[in-house]
Amino acid sequence: MNGKNVLFIWEYVIREETDVAIKLSDLTHQKELLTGGHRMCAGCGAPIAVRQVLHAVPENAQVVTCCPTGCLEVSTSIYPYSSWRTAFIHSAFENAAATISGVEAAYRALKKKGKIGEDFRFVVFGGDGGTYDIGLQALSGMLERGHRVVYVCYNNEAYMNTGIQRSGATQLGTWTTTSPFGERSAGKAQNRKDLTAIAAAHNIPYVAQAAIHSWRDTVNKARKAFQADGSALLNILAPCHRGWRYPMEETVEISRLATETCIWPLYEVENGKWRLTHKVRQKKPLREYLEKQGRYSHLFRPENEAILEQLQAFTDQQWEQLLLRCGETTES
Amino acid sequence: MRTLMKGNEAIGEAAVRAGCRCFFGYPITPQNEIPEYLSGRLPEAGGVFLQAESEIAAINMVFGAAGAGARVMTSSSGPGISLKQEGISFLAGAELPCVIVNIMRGGPGLGSIQPGQADYFQATRGGGHGDYRTIVLAPCSVQEMVDFTYWAFELADRYRSPVLVLADGVLGQLMEPVTLPPELKPDNGNKPWATTGCRGRKRNVIKSLYLNPEELEAHNKKLQEKFGLMQREVNRAEKYRVEDAETVLVAFGISARISMAAVEAVREEGIKAGLLRPITLWPFPEGILQSSLPKAKKVLVVEMSAGQMVEDVKLTVSGKLPVYFYGRTGGLLPSAEEIQTQIKLLEVKVSERSLCQA
């Protein structure tokens, strides 16, 4: 059977507002730049995010990928093997943005001198630990200098590679191995920081928040990121069933619930203009998202109800603020 | 009562029992069980567990807590310890006591997450910028990880200095029965220099900045005198069958345990071998090593590195005996059989030796 002639029954095309139509069938015919056979867990959200982003690489462009240490890096580049059909550079945990800045600066210099002709694109895939926490300084420097790099944070809300420790992306009340629950603690005591907004505050051409369940949205955003003349950042929710404690086959569903409960809204900031890319018509209560995950099981004990309410209140407040920024509501 | 504990967790428990109520850490393999254990244990004990945003942040939190007079600890592994070096230099310069645990892995660079011993130079030569040294303790069992963590706090306070506990990935992950020491009160000790609020006394200043060169030289002289005192007072090593040994092995940490098995095995075959295991890596137990060589004809140093401690051994032996080296790198452990082979090679006539003299 000729693959090109197969019409997938789940193929559909919707032209949404200004977005360019993307056909799923086109994507399936594209060469995958992250090949199969890597050692990520079955049901991991990270390689889904990576493949969605790499499907948006402009045709004929060469790609240089940089990964700081993390699950993705250790599972896709174990010497002498590589799952990457791109040039690949591995940095330490704290300096992926600095490393790729150097590569991009060298490319510019070589291009200016006419020593390099091809179109190269530069992309970082870092986890939330390497992005929200230890790599934030290097990231901020890269964004401020405006290197033409697409920085992708595959966000699974904890340090999964080292064994599920809390990070700056971990939500309030979450169990991790360094935010345990018990008599003296009910999981993480702080709210997560808003990395997407921090990146947007650098006034770079393109910043977006995405999630793996919404492939068209993510590919669209990645296309815009690659088109941006300057730095771009994509913060993509990539659920981790090992760390979040849910059955591995539910990764996509969990991602969808995160958006439907508004704890992970999908939006973009293009040249300073905030826009909601998925309008949540019927906002679901956060409980529906939390109760599916073992990392929140302790929150359903009577003594932790206040934490549950706090997290709902924080989610509501962040959502309202986002609606305001996106011009969906006006301050009453 | 003996308890079965993992090395990393045992370090955490020993710290709490030594009265440590402040821990600042950051994830890195293979030491993650230390922060994980303390994230549960310290809040129970009324202490502070804090996961920082980076190793640099963690070591400077240690600076802050130590300056306020608290018994404080941090832990990491190779790459993370490298990031902490600026802070360690500041701690040494400002004479602040603290305990820093390095569960070594293979290097250089990101290296691996397998055990290694190649951070010996970094640990024993100060590690950061400027003229300073820190006491370095090298356990070789889970029991010693407990005992030396406990001891490290005592030494840190006695000398107002950072103290390093230098173990490796094997010891960190190893489970063994341990006897835990009694729990000290979370007393931060008598620290009249600490910045605890100067009501009723003259203000205290903690700093490592002396812009006036004469002042800085005087400060350095004082530090050097302190390091000299440490060298005279803190020397520990374990001797094993060295009295009649013609071949004396020198090894620390997990390498020493393997070497001990090799010594026993070659003894069975009539080769007179012995082992000296330095416990304080800095100060290096020079006197104890010298006294371990009454019948020695040669020395064999075994390390999980390309040869670092061997330099201190050579300085101590000072050309009186040939010093040989055997090492494995990259996260590989030398086997007892490999070491036996090396010992036997030394028995062969000099002209037939394939082994390099270090």
Give pLDDT tens digits for A61-76: 999 999 999 999 999 9
Which residues in chain A touch residue B109, judged by CB atoms under 8 angstroms apart? 92
Beta carbons of B40 and A180 less than 8 Å apart: yes
Domain regions of chain A by residue span: 17-325
B54:A178 CB<8 A: no
Q: Return the closest-CA partner of residue A275 out of A284, A266, A264.
A: A266
Across chain A, mean pLDDT equals 93
Chain B interface, mutation test: which of A71, A90, A175, A177, most B Cβ atoms within 10 Å?
Answer: A177
Whether B28 sits inside 8 A of A94 (CB atoms) is no
Least confident span in A15-24, A169-178, B265-274: A15-24
A266 CA: distance to closest CA in chain B (Å): 26
Average confidence (pLDDT) over B136-141: 98
Q: CATH assignment of A17-325? A: 3.40.50.970
Residue carrying the six token digits 């230890």: A134
**Contacts with A314 (C-beta within 8 Å, 6 or more apart), sequence order:** A172, A191
From A183, A169, A158, A129, select the one nearest A303 (Cα to Cα). A183
CA distance A105 to chain B (A): 23
CATH of span B237-357:
3.40.50.920
Taking an 8 Å cut-off on Cβ atoms, the answer to whether A162 and B32 are in contact is yes
Can you name the residues that pair with B23 across neighbouring β-strands?
A: B49, B73
Tokens describing residue B35: 């922060």
Classify domain B2-233 at the CATH superfamily level. Thiamin diphosphate (ThDP)-binding fold, Pyr/PP domains (3.40.50.970)
Mutate to test the interface with A, among B6, B28, B51 (most CBs of A within 10 A): B51
Residue scoring higher pLDDT (A332 or A298): A298
Our CA-based measurement puts residue A137 at a distance from the nearest CA of chain B, in whole angstroms, of 11
Average pLDDT over residues B198-216: 95
Residues of chain A neighbouring B54 (CB-CB closer than 8 A): 94, 133-134
Examine the pLDDT at A15 and tell me if it is beyond 80: no
List where CATH 3.40.50.970 sits in chain B.
Answer: 2-233
Check residue B190 and give its pLDDT: 83
Q: What is residue A18's predicted lDDT score, i.e. its pLDDT?
A: 40
pLDDT for residue B106 is more than 50: yes
Q: A179, B54: Cβ pair inside 8 Å? A: no
A66 chain-B contacts, CB cut-off 8 A: none
pLDDT of amino acid A116: 95
Start and end residues for every CATH 3.40.50.920 domain found in chain B = 237-357
Residue A166: closest CA among chain B residues belongs to which residue? B51
- What is the distance between the alpha carbons of residues B261 and B74, in angstroms, rounded to a whole number? 33
Q: Give the whole-angstrom CA distance, residue B51 versus residue A169.
A: 13
pLDDT at residue A11, as a whole number: 35
User: What average pLDDT score do residues B107-123 get?
Assistant: 95
Distance CA B246, CA B236 (A): 22
pLDDT mean over A50-54: 97
- What is the C-alpha separation between A193 and A173, in angstroms, rounded? 14
pLDDT band at residue B146 using 50, 70 and 90 as cut-offs: very high
Do B32 and A183 make contact, defined as CB atoms within 8 angstroms? no
Tokens 């963690």 — which residue? B58
Asked if A134 lies within 8 A of B35 by C-beta distance, the reply is no
pLDDT at B38 over 50: yes
Which chain A residues touch B if contact means CB-CB below 8 Å? 69, 90, 92-94, 129, 133-134, 136, 159, 161-163, 165-166, 168, 177-180, 182-185
What is the nearest CA distance from B48 to chain A, expressed in angstroms? 12
Confidence of residue A8 (pLDDT cuts 50, 70, 90): very low
Closest Cα in chain B, distance from residue A89 (Å): 13
pTM of the model: 0.92
Of the candidates B53, B55, B83, the beta carbon closest to that of A168 is on B53
Residues of A in contact with B43 (CB under 8 A): 184-185
Q: Tell me the nearest-neighbour CA distance from B203 into chain A, angstroms.
A: 35
Nearest to B51 among A136, A166, A185 (CB): A166
**Chain-chain contact of A93 with B53 (C-beta, under 8 angstroms):** no
Tell me the mean pLDDT in the region B144-156.
Answer: 98
3-state helix, strand, coil in chain A (%, to 5): 40, 15, 45
Please name the member of A90, A162, A166 whose beta carbon is closest to the beta carbon of B29. Answer: A162
Tell me how far apart the alpha carbons of residues B119 and B356 are, in angstroms, rounded to a whole number: 23
pLDDT at B356: 57
Q: Between chain A and chain B, how many beta carbons pairs sit less than 8 Å apart?
A: 54
Band of the pLDDT at A3, cuts 50, 70, 90?
Answer: very low
Mind listing the pLDDT tens digit for each residue in A230-268?
999 999 999 999 999 999 999 999 999 999 999 999 999
Name the most confidently modeled range: A70-79, B249-258, B343-352.
B249-258
Give the distance from CA A165 to its chain's centroid: 18
User: Cβ contact (<8 Å) for B44 and A180?
Assistant: no
**Cross-chain residue pair A179–B39, CB shorter than 8 Å:** yes
| B contacts of A168 (beta carbons < 8 Å) | 53
Q: Which ranges in B134-272 belong to alpha helices (H)?
A: 142-159, 169-173, 213-233, 253-268
* A120 contacts A97 by C-beta, under 8 angstroms: no
A180 CB-near residues (< 8 Å, 6+ apart): A187, B39, B40
Work out the minimum CA distance from A42 to partner chain B, whole angstroms. Answer: 23
Minimum Cα–Cα distance from B25: chain A residue: A178
Judged against a pLDDT cut of 90, whether residue A27 lies above it is answered with no
**Which pLDDT band, with edges at 50, 70 and 90, does A216 fall under?**
very high
- Digit-coded pLDDT (tens) for B345-356: 998 855 455 555
At A21 the pLDDT is 76
B39, B54, B110 member nearest A178 (Cβ): B39
List residues of B whose CB lies inside 8 A of any A CB: 25-29, 32, 35-36, 39-40, 43-44, 49, 51, 53-55, 79, 83, 109-110
Please check the confidence at residue A5 and state whether its pLDDT lies above 50: no
Q: What is the mean pLDDT of chain B?
A: 95
Q: Is A32 helix (H, G, I), strand (E, B) or coil?
A: coil
In this prediction, residues B201-216 reach a mean pLDDT of 96
- B188-197 exposure pattern, b = at least 16 Cβ within 10 A, e = fewer: bbebeebeee
How many C-beta atoms surround the C-beta of residue A248 within 10 A? 13
Residue bearing tokens 């393999």: B29
In chain A, whose CA is at the least distance from the CA of B27?
A162
Measured between beta carbons, which residues in chain B are less than 8 angstroms from residue A163? 27, 29, 32, 36
Asked if the Cβ–Cβ distance from B54 to A134 is below 8 Å, we say: yes
Cα separation of B26 and A268, whole Å?
32
Mutate to test the interface with A, among B26, B41, B42 (most CBs of A within 10 A): B26
Question: B77 contacts in A (CB within 8 Å)?
Answer: none
